Structure 1
Amino acid sequence: MTTWPAAHFAQHPGYAPIRPVLERFASLPDWQAWQALGSPASNRLGLPLQFVDPDSLTQYYEAEIHALGRIATRHNWHDCFNAAVWHTFPQAKVALNALHHRHTADGARGPVRDAATLFDECGLIVACSDTALADALIGHDWATLFQTHHDAWGKRIEALCFGHANYEYLLDPFRGLTGKCWLVPVADTHFSRPLVERIATLDAHIAFEIDADRLQRPKQLPPLPFLGIPGWWPVQDDAFYADASYFRPKRMTA
């Protein structure tokens, strides 16, 4: 897809978190266009974040953000959605950058950074006020999560895309798309608040958890076949949900 699909962004519920940012453009923005929006936040050294030409970097991506506040931004969909997430979830993105900095001192890449990268690329923030629904997600009880409790979505549970790779895949979605979830317990009243307020609350919560080193390994992020979320795929009938190659049961461990 090379054109700017404004209608698609407006119609698909997966784009809800970043839609207000995307609506400010009429075509695929380059780094100068992102920079013109202003800084989404400051890094942990207090430097305002800025979007820059990737060819101007003197350090690798995460180090440049931490040391200089400079986010390399290519003129493509992947980096477009990454920039949009920086504007939408700035506290969590800054916290992830600080995590990478903390865990690169020894030069080794371990499970903490692997988990951070998974969440950054394909993460979903799942706010849930019903423990039964959270248990269904963790236990891969997809029939309960998506069909039996179809009406609970938006009232007791919701999924917000955080990972910029998810947004890129949603340009041309296909069965098999699966995200990694960060479950956040909330009260029922959470879902009656405006989306911008819900995002700000979840952004602050995720940043706090990352700063507290609660993200330790990829297995903390359960998978979610997110095209099963009501409204995220055109035809969600019994045959769709019966596809066990997509809605996979949980593996039994010895």
Structure 2
Amino acid sequence: MIAWDSRFFRKSSLYWPLQDVAARFEGALEWPAVEAVDAALSEAAGVHFRPQPPRPRRRRRRRPVDPSSLYDARIHVEGWVPTRPSNWHDFMNALVWATFPAGKRALHARQHRTVAARLGDAPKALPDRRTREQDGLAMLDEGSLLLLAVEGRVSAITAALEARDTSAVQNEMAEGSALALVFGHALYESLLPEERRSIWAMVALLPCPGPLPTERRACIRLADARLAELITTPGTFSQPETFRSLPLDERVLCGGSVLRREPGGEFFG
């Protein structure tokens, strides 16, 4: 397990969307307790973070499923996120919640509706396999990259993604026609090791009127709003086989950033 490091977000420029919320823990000498995470992030996230309840012991006879005890129900119905202490995966999830609250809220609301619809009125057990829609939403939650794109360049960017033409997408970002923001908390976790394996991230293309903002907080708010809108559009993210990807690489995703440096410090920290 990777040890706690309060300056983790300064080790890669891909952490830039989390910069503001991650900085609230900078200087902490040890893992912040779940209660401390909640105190620091709940207002921005719009949900609370509470310790994950212990899993019940397995029984030979399967009891009927209590829909209210499921992960997405805790979030959508009760307003709190089950969180494991001293756990990078769950800590990154909390940071993403505080950065993209509208997108995360829409995502878990849809996941909850999808699971509830499959369980029906008399749930006996969770289905053995997820639907393709559930697979797609899980990929979005864990391993996605948001790509803001000026509407007039969406066709060209889509064609480049289809062709896996990374350089063409890089050129669009350098020209200010697109901007990449990591969303999936598993991707943020994957940036922690000093030596990282090569990863390709699922792309959620978010068309928007141009020009793109040059201030990072405005870009984050725009991406969050556009993502939430796309998630609530019926049929989206239901066909994972159609998803396209880009490498999780600072040289590709940050080299041509149109964001300006802000007063008081470096943009990437």
Q: What TM-score, normalized to structure 2?
A: 0.74
Q: What is the aligned partner in structure 1 of residue 43 from structure 2?
A: 39
What is the Cα deviation at residue 206 of structure 1? 1.1
1:25-54 superposed Cα distances (whole Å, 9 cap, x missing partner): 034333111111233354xxxxxx211011
Q: What is the aligned partner in structure 2 of residue 2 from structure 1?
A: 3
Query: Structure 2 vs 1, CA of residues 111 and 87 (structure 1 numbering), >3 Å: closer, same or farther?
Result: same
RMSD of aligned residue pairs (Cα, Å) = 2.4
Pairwise mapping of residues 164-183 of structure 1 onto structure 2 (< 5 A)?
164-172=185-193, 174-183=196-205
Partners of 1:93 and 1:228 lie apart in 2 by 24
Whether the aligned pair in 2 keeps the contact of 1:124 and 1:159 (CA below 8 Å) is yes
Output the amino acid matched with 1:174.
R
Output the amino acid matched with 1:72.
P
Q: What is the aligned partner in structure 2 of residue 210 from structure 1?
A: 231
What is the Cα deviation at residue 10 of structure 1? 2.3
Q: What is the aligned partner in structure 2 of residue 145 from structure 1?
A: 169
What is the Cα deviation at residue 71 of structure 1? 0.6
Whether the aligned pair in 1 keeps the contact of 2:203 and 2:246 (CA below 8 Å) is yes
Paired residue total: 222
Q: What is the aligned partner in structure 1 of residue 21 from structure 2?
A: 21
What is the Cα deviation at residue 230 of structure 1? 3.3
| Structure 1 gap ranges (5+) | 43-48, 234-254
1:106-158 superposed Cα distances (whole Å, 9 cap, x missing partner): 23421111111000000110112234233212220124334xx2x83372222
SS of 1:66's equivalent?
helix
Query: Structure 2 vs 1, CA of residues 54 and 12 (structure 1 numbering), >3 Å: closer, same or farther?
Result: same
SS of 1:190's equivalent?
coil
Residue number among 134, 137, 157 corresponding to 1:133 in the alignment: 157
What is the Cα deviation at residue 5 of structure 1? 4.9
SS of 1:189's equivalent?
coil
Whether the aligned pair in 1 keeps the contact of 2:180 and 2:254 (CA below 8 Å) is no
SS of 2:24's equivalent?
coil
Partners of 2:159 and 2:197 lie apart in 1 by 23
SS of 2:205's equivalent?
strand
SS of 1:55's equivalent?
coil
Q: What TM-score, normalized to structure 1?
A: 0.78
Query: Structure 2 vs 1, CA of residues 231 and 159 (structure 1 numbering), >3 Å: closer, same or farther?
Result: closer
Output the amino acid matched with 1:53.
P
Give the number of the structure whose alpha-carbon radius of gyration is greater.
2
Residue number among 158, 178, 183 corresponding to 1:162 in the alignment: 183
1:84 aligns with 2:95: yes
Identity of paired residues, percent? 30
Q: What is the aligned partner in structure 1 of residue 83 from structure 2?
A: 73
SS of 2:53's equivalent?
helix
Partners of 2:202 and 2:196 lie apart in 1 by 17
Whether the aligned pair in 2 keeps the contact of 1:14 and 1:160 (CA below 8 Å) is yes
